[in-house]
């Protein structure tokens, strides 16, 4: 039961990170990591940067997989 809940939270965290990456790609908006709004801790800033980077990686991989699939087509 605990493992299932942990897996669910991890999956939700990945989805939120990928969503934020999509917002960044389409609008240029990104969470502010200024010292006065988040924290002075370099460890927390590094963790947040890694978290957002993971979302961008997930986004890149998703686009690559969808681009190679016949189920999706690019319309511009």
Give 14: exposed, middle or buried? Use CB within 10 Å, 0-12, 13-18, 19+.
middle
Domain ranges of the chain: 2-68
pTM of the model: 0.75
Please, which residues have CB within 8 angstroms of residue 14's CB and are 6 or more apart in sequence?
54, 55, 58
CB 38, CB 45: distance < 8 Å: yes
pLDDT tens, the chain, 76 aa long: 889 999 999 999 999 999 999 999 899 888 776 666 666 778 888 888 899 899 999 999 999 999 999 999 988 7
């Amino acid at each position: 039961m605990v493992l299932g809940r942990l897996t669910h939270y991890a999956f939700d965290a990945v989805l939120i990170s990928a969503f934020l990456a999509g917002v960044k790609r389409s609008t240029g908006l990104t969470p502010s990591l200024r010292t006065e709004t988040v924290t002075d801790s370099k460890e927390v800033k590094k963790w947040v940067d890694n978290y957002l980077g993971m979302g961008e990686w997930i986004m890149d991989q998703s686009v690559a997989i969808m681009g190679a699939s016949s189920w999706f087509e690019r319309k511009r």
